[in-house]
Every structure is written in structure tokens, then in C-alpha cells.
Chains A and B, each alone.
Chain A
Amino acid sequence: MSQHNVDASWPLYEVFVRSSRGLSHVHAGSLHAPDATMALRNARDLYTRRNEGTSVWVVPSDAISSSDPDSKGGFFESSQGKAFRHATYYTKSEGVKHL
């Protein structure tokens, strides 16, 4: 057993940073904090020491649901074989301007 009294973990938060106005928040990493307020402060110190952010979100990690990586094929199938959803599918208009 441990010789050292290491306290039970604080909850894990995922950190999302908006790098500048007009852009989306992007996942930056995660951290532990006792509550959301502290998580925000820690996120500022940990992920924005060089002006990397204008806004930070923190989300409890266990509040995030994810698609199953193993069912990748099945889950994303419906968008495959539907090239007609892309503009490049339509070629007759080649040479016609502004189309």
C-alpha cells in the first residue's frame, strides 16, 4: 500500500479554448479541479499562458458522451456514397462563371 497519503482525485474537466473572436472553442486538454470555478481558473493558468485564448469552457469529462470507435463504419455510413452532397459532383457547369 501507499506510504503516502494521496487524496482521492478531484473530478476531471475537459477544457475548450476559443483562440480569437469568431472562431469555435477547440479542445485543449483536461485537468482536475474541485469545482467548475476552480477548473476555469486552472484552465486559464494551464492552457492560456501565452494569450492562446479569449474564452474558455470547462466541461465535466463524464458529462461527455462519445460515439463508439469500433462501430465507426456503421455509425458514419449514411454519409458515404452520397457524393451528390458535394458541389464537385456536378460537372456539367464547367466553364460557366459564378456557378
Chain B
Amino acid sequence: MSTTSIHSDAPVADLDEQRAGQERFDQIIAEDSRIEPSDWMPEGYRKTLVRQMSQHAHSEIIGMQPEANWITRAPSLKRKMILMAKVQDEAGHGLYLYSATETLGVPREELVRQLLDGEAKYSSIFNYPAMTWADVGAIGWLVDGAAIQNQVPLCRASFAPYGRAMVRICKEESFHQRQGWEILYELSHGTPEQKAMAQDAVNRFYGPALQMFGPPDDDSPNSQQSMAWNIKRFSNDELRQRFVDMIVPQAEALGLTLPDPDLKWNEERGHYDFGELDWDEFMSVIKGKGPCNVQRMQHRRAAHENGAWVREAAAAYAEKQARRQQDAADTHLIGA
């Protein structure tokens, strides 16, 4: 019998095998079971996952920047330690997701290259600046909050390594959301200036956070296929609605308002109605015209280039150690 790698193999060329593979795949999806990397899968499924998972990984990596910018200026040692832990978690999330993406047969250096060359996208929310300490609170509460809403259903994604990475990530995210909410709570219960700063941060992050769920369902052509493949479990608009329903009482508990005149409870629907979002702005930020797109990419490239000597030194050391071990083994052989 043959043994195989635990990671994804090259696509099968043989037609019969292909047909059998497709049947098996369809059956697994129909049973709402999980696909492992070594299972046969349609090329479209693989491509969709590579795109979605690598974009997700890039978002975690780029997403460190707005908050890391505040680590040296955190208002207390406690807040500094919390923020460092949160940013470190985001780096970890990026790495879990890169590893999971690699199981689909795309090497890490290719994923990194796509990000650095500007070929790959990341969540447009990270192209907004964190201008005040209250923004760090708003990011934790609204941005991580929206991310959780998105990520919890992804724990059941049909591609098993993606689901496993999401389980790990979701366990860590709730701390992110709570620490952000608490920053805003302390500010909104502080001086009038602090409360105004908190309100201003919420005003700026509310719309972009709601847009993290993607365009309205009518403009989201790939969603249906992703739902048929059990990658996506709820539509963009469903997730957005849940998020709005969740944050309204949370804003009330903060003593802050949400910047939407159309926001009101709809008894009939059992949900909050909310106003139209600025989708022109969303598209323009995606196309690279957001306030921080250029800065985020420059910073990422600089970090990669400035870290080159560390990677080279580690590789040289590993090589030297391996050579020494080999030499020692050879000497031993000769001696014996």
C-alpha cells in the first residue's frame, strides 16, 4: 500500500479518480462532515479557501498595526501589558491561519510574497487610523466584536484545518472584545473630555465595523457558492444584523450612542433597523484609497526587510549546527 503526506497532494489527473473524488466530496459536504487536506477536493473549493484563508491571515498581520501604534503610549503599565498581549495574539492568529492555508499546498513564502507585492487583499477596516487612546477601545469592542461574529460560524467551516484554526482564535478573541469595551467604559465614566473622546471613536468606527461583513447580499456573488460548500454558514447581511442587535444594548451600557439616525427597534422583525452604509467609501478603501493603505503596506514591507538579518542568522546557525553534527558523526564512523 502507499503512504501519503499529511498535507495536500497534487491534483489528481485521472478522470475516474476525479469522478470518484467528486462523489466522495459531495457526500462529505451533504453529511455536513469535514474535508481534510489529503481528501480530493474541487479546484474551485481549493482556490476559494486559499483566497479566503490567506486574506484572513493577512488581515490578522496587518491588523496589528493600528493598535501596536499605541503600545508605547498606553495610559498605564496594566493597559500596556494588555495591549501587548492582544497584539501578540493577532500575530498568533495570522500564523495559525497561514499554517492552515499551507495545508492546501501553497507554500508560506508564496503567501507572504502575495501580501508584500500587494496582490493579496486584507480587511479594509485596518486602513483606518487609530488616532486616540479611545480608538484602541473602539477597535477592541467593534472591530474584534465584528470579527467574532464572523468567526464563530467559521469554526464549523467544512475545511477542517480552517475550522480548527478558528476554534483556537475564537477562544482568544473574547478577551480582545472585552478589554476594548472596558477601555470605552472607563473613558465614558471619566471626565467630559474623556467621554467625548470615547463617543468620537465610536462615531468613526461604527460604519467601517459594520462593513467588515462585506457588501450587501445582492452584491456578494461568491457568497452562495461558499454557503453551498459549507464554508460560509450565514450571509453577510444576516451576520451584520446580528452584530447590530448585539451592540445596541452594549452601547447603552457604555452610556454612548451609535451614529445612525435610522437605528431603531423593529417590533415586527424582532431586529434593529439601521441606515444605509457608505458603500462608495468601502469600495474606494478596498481599491487602496483609504486613509492608511499606503502606510500599512510600507510598514509591513519595512518590517519584513528589517527582519531579514534575523532570519538569515537563524538559518546560518541551523546550518552550522547541522554541519557540526554531521562532522561529529563522520569522525565517529572513522574512529570506529
Contacts and interface: CB of A to CB of B under 8 A. Distances in A.
A49 B85 CA distance: 9
Contacts of A30: 99, 102
A11 B150 CA distance: 32
B7 interface: yes
B32 to A, nearest CB: 18
Interface string A62-78: 10111111110001000
Interface stretch (B44-52, B107-115, B141-149, B205-213): B107-115
A10 B315 contact: yes
A50 B92 CA distance: 12
Contacts of B321: 35
B139 interface: no
B95 A4 contact: no
B117 A2 contact: yes
Interface stretch (B35-43, B177-185, B273-281): B35-43
Contacts of A68: 1-4, 38
A50 B172 CA distance: 9
Contact of A9 (B5, B7, B108, B318): B108
B314 interface: yes
Given A4-B116, A34-B315, A70-B40, A65 B3 contact: yes
A40 interface: no
A99 interface: no
Contacts of B21: 70
Interface string B76-108: 000000000100110010011001101000011
B304 interface: yes
Interface in B109-131: 109, 112-113, 116-117
Interface of A: 2-10, 12, 14, 29-32, 34-35, 38, 45-46, 49-50, 61-62, 64-71, 75
3 smallest beta-carbon distances between A and B, as pairs: A34-B318, A35-B318, A65-B3
Given A4-B116, A29-B96, A66-B6, 18 more contacts: A2-B117, A4-B117, A6-B113, A9-B108, A29-B165, A29-B168, A34-B317, A35-B322, A45-B92, A50-B172, A61-B7, A64-B5, A64-B6, A66-B38, A68-B2, A69-B36, A70-B20, A71-B2
